[in-house]
Chain A
Amino acid sequence: MKGIKTETLFIDHKQTEDLESIFSKAEEVLSRDKKKPLRMVLLGISDAKAKLLVSFTYEK
């Protein structure tokens, strides 16, 4: 069975990293748990962390 969820996700961020790299890293983190992103929005960057709002499909 498959479902959809929305969560906030924190990923490590280096100052030199561009926006595309933030999304690639987030996708990588999600895929480790067999989650597939449907929507990703960067909420903010602070203390070397990027905070994203991610919605994804997951398998139960």
Chain B
Amino acid sequence: MKNKKKFVVASIIPTGIQCSIGGYIGDATLVTNRLASVCDYLITNPNAVNGGAFNFKDKNVLYVEGRAIDQFFQEQVELSLPKKNKVGVILEKIPDIIAVKYALKSIEAFKTIAGVDVRKIEFIKPLKKSIRLCDGQFYGEVEDITPLLAAAKKLLRSNRVDAIAIATHIKVDNKYIRQHQKGSLPNPYGLMEALLSHLVTDAFSVPSAHAPMLTKKEMEMFLFHSFDSDPRSALENISGAYLGSVLLGLDSAPRLTNPGQGEIRLKDVQALIVPSNCLRSIPVACAIKKGIPVIQVRENKNIFTSSGYVDHKHIINVNTYDDAMREVLRLREKIK
């Protein structure tokens, strides 16, 4: 089975750039699963499929943390085939007891009902985090990341977990949340969530993902004051705890291996699919260099109005994700 030729495609939908598909939690699941239906494996970032309390990704969708996707494209890591993971959880012990209880209940539910193998919960004191809006994008800052790194180290060393879920509270101005829910701002949580999971994955080469904890007041706002929201934010409206999607994703997330030891390598990747005007990331840079076709999907509009990098012979522009699927099928036919 090892190194048998596989048809692998990557689809990245970055967080925090107000993608028309994938700008809300879980709303890129349908297109992701459609793309996966024409591949052996589809690599994607958690943002594309995390749906609050739910995660409806198909089994051959490989849930890979964004920093690990960068490293995979830079050929610094490879991926194992999905297998059952032992999951450790890092939980911020915030003063709002409802938020902590909801997170704990969520862990209990997904252990009991979905069979997620949660081995240990490490509590940490609240991290000092802040976000600010600048030129339509959120910037993030964390003053001291030592407690997060120490908790991850403890889970990996003492409890031998394979993947780490992180749940913390991110304080967001209510007006930003309302603007996001009405479709006029990127998800204000996105960047900070990405930074916390990037940190853990980068430091320990382990699958990870972040779920926000909501206080009672925030839950009320999401649940009861959201009837005029964009329908794409509906999963945000019905999720009290967001940890479920992360636990379901990490349950079978591919483990990261050293180069030469993985079952999925960059040479297996036949295409990279990105939203409109997103020729601006490390995976795109590496794909262009390696001659991997990059498919840019026009229907997935976002805050970027220009292409980012100059057009290149390896860029294929398509209108919709269905067109992207047809391109993938064409590529698959070509290599048969």
Tell me the A residues contacting B by CB distance below 8 Å: 1-7, 18-20, 22-23, 36, 38-45, 53, 55, 57
Contacts and interface: CB of A to CB of B under 8 A. Distances in A.
Contacts of B202: 36, 38
Interface in B86-119: none
Interface of B: 14, 66-67, 137, 139-146, 149, 191, 194-195, 198-199, 202, 279-282, 284-286, 288-289, 306, 308-309
Nearest to B66: A39
21 contacts: A4-B141, A6-B141, A6-B191, A18-B289, A19-B309, A20-B289, A23-B282, A23-B285, A38-B67, A38-B195, A38-B202, A39-B194, A39-B195, A40-B281, A41-B280, A43-B280, A44-B308, A53-B137, A53-B139, A55-B140, A57-B199
Contact of B280 (A5, A38, A42, A55): A42
Given A38-B195, A39-B66, A42-B280, A3 B309 contact: no
Contacts of B67: 38-39
A19 B288 contact: yes
Contacts of B143: 3
A4 B203 CA distance: 13
**Interface SS of chain A: helix, strand, loop or mixed?**
strand
A48 to B, nearest CB: 14
Given A19-B279, A39-B198, A3 B284 contact: no
Nearest to B131: A6
A42 B140 CA distance: 17
Contacts of A22: 285
B140 A4 contact: yes
A33 B191 CA distance: 23
Contacts of B14: 41
Contact of A4 (B145, B281, B282, B286): B145
Given A6-B191, A20-B286, A41 B281 contact: yes
B33 to A, nearest CB: 26
Contact of A1 (B137, B144, B308): B144
B288 A38 contact: no
- Interface centre among B66, B195, B202, by most chain A C-beta atoms within 10 angstroms, is B195
A58 B308 CA distance: 27
A43 B202 CA distance: 23
Given A20-B286, A38-B199, 12 more contacts: A1-B144, A2-B144, A3-B141, A4-B141, A5-B140, A6-B140, A6-B191, A18-B289, A19-B279, A38-B202, A39-B198, A44-B308
Given A23-B282, A44-B306, A4 B288 contact: no
Contacts of B288: 18-20
Contacts of B279: 19
B308 A6 contact: no
A42 B308 contact: yes
A38 B196 CA distance: 9
Nearest to A15: B310
A29 B238 CA distance: 44
A19 B195 contact: no
Contacts of A43: 280
A18 B134 CA distance: 27
